[in-house]
Structure 1
Amino acid sequence: MSQTDSYDDTYTESQVIMTTVKIIAPFTLTYGMFMSLHGADTPGGSFQGGAIIGVTVLMLAFAFGIEPTRQWLKNSFVVGLVTGGVTIFIATGLATMALGGSFLEYDAFSETFGIAHYWGMEAIEVGGVALIVAGVVITLFFATAAGFTPERNRREDEPLEGVSDDD
């Protein structure tokens, strides 16, 4: 393929797809949150729930366009999802250490506060894993959608391949 050839990647709206996504997206988002909130209790859990939440954003991007979705869902929000999940995970582990237990030893919560160790696990499952998975799914999709071009990976002082100063 020569440099003059290009793909037509113009976005075309489909009223059927847009209407279907408008109807289905609230249900998939609700189901993803349901799965996340039942992280340690039922089959499924926060990993699957986070994946469903992330895929709901992908569905919106396919229906309404990748760039409009990327502009609507700010990069700082997606980074905040992953960072918040990691922060909750680490904070829960450090809290158990501060209470005299090992890292993520949930029994320290029940000994100190009189609450079941279940709540420490829920903090990790819902607050940590679901946020991280949803953020990573969205990030990988936007990174893949941006594509890879040699120009994007090239330093500014490097010439393009196949292009000489004589041209």
Structure 2
Amino acid sequence: MSNDRGADGNGAETGEASQSSTNRAAGRAMGADDTYVESQVIMTTVRVVAPFAFTYGLFLTFHGGGSPGGGFQGGAVIGTTVLMIAFAFGIEPTRDWLSNRVVVGLASGGVLAFALIGLVPLLVDGRFLEHAVFDEEFGLYHGKKYALEGVEIVGIAPIVAAIVIGLFFAIAAGFTGDVDAWHPAGPEGPPGTETTPGAGGGEAGATAAGDGSDRDAATGGEQS
């Protein structure tokens, strides 16, 4: 009787291992397209709205120095426009269209421009981002205004837009990337799957468990 119970227990473990392997395989089959559902209504709407949204972001950025708006607001609207395109046409196609180099270039260029405009006043004993120096020391026509707009347009706006887009792509990679790459448990499987210690993952673990149960049953028969 004890041998029968042992064989049944090993068989149950084998079934659990096989089910776990199946669950892991199903989890790994989750691709980049399972979070995207094509909708002609959404795609057509975004085709119409996106150019206006992008233009409005540029408007806020260029007119931020003398009217409501600025680099933060304009950059956020521009970045959100890219997110809207990704929701409509898919994250991976948008990532391929707007590569990581472009996003990193926007952020790096914005930081460099912001630093250069801010550090120039230090060359004439001014303070960081003291835009009045461009009028008083360099004699530039409306130098203070242009310096402020330069910080907003080529500094802050690209940085904010790149951060919004980059964070979106980074977060989306956790849902559309390889399951083993983002799941804290590693190759054991996606959340919600149960793993059996010693199963070894996949058919190899199930085969090993089955061989072990056969040997136990044979040993029990000889002892009887």
Taking a change above 3 Å as real, the CA distance of residues 106 and 10 of structure 1, as seen in their structure-2 partners, is closer
Q: Which has the larger radius of gyration?
A: 2
1:7-49 Cα distance to aligned partner (Å, 9 max, x none): 7825321111111111111100000000000122111221111
Q: Write 1 or 2 for the structure with the bigger share of helix.
A: 2
CA distance in 1, matches of 2:165, 2:137: 38
% identical equivalent positions: 53
Evaluate the alpha carbon distance shift between residue 150 and residue 69 of structure 1 in structure 2; reply closer, same or farther with a 3 A threshold.
Answer: closer
Residue 53 of structure 2 corresponds to which residue in structure 1? Answer: 28
Corresponding position: 1:124 with 2:113? no
Partners of 2:187 and 2:172 in 1: how far apart?
A: 26
Query: Does structure 1 residue 144 correspond to structure 2 residue 171?
Result: yes
Q: Which residue pairs with 1:91 in the alignment? A: 116
Runs of 4+ in structure 1 off by over 6 angstroms are: none
TM-score (structure 2 length as normaliser): 0.65
Alpha carbons 2:180, 2:187 under 8 Å: kept: no
Question: Are 2:167 and 1:135 equivalent residues in the alignment?
Answer: no
- 2:36 aligns with 11
Alignment map for 1:16-165 (pairs within 5 Å): 16-115=41-140, 116=142, 117-147=144-174, 151-152=180-181, 160=188, 162=195, 164=197
Unpaired runs of 5+ residues, structure 2, are: 1-19, 190-194, 201-224
Residue 166 of structure 1 deviates from its aligned partner by 5.0
Deviations 1:25-76 (A, max 9, x none): 1100000000000122111221111000000000110111000000000100
CA distance in 1, matches of 2:45, 2:88: 9
> Residues 62-91 of structure 1, C-alpha deviation per residue, up to 9 Å, x if partnerless?
111000000000100000111011001100
Question: Higher relative CO (CA 8 A, sep ≥ 6), structure 1 or 2?
Answer: 2
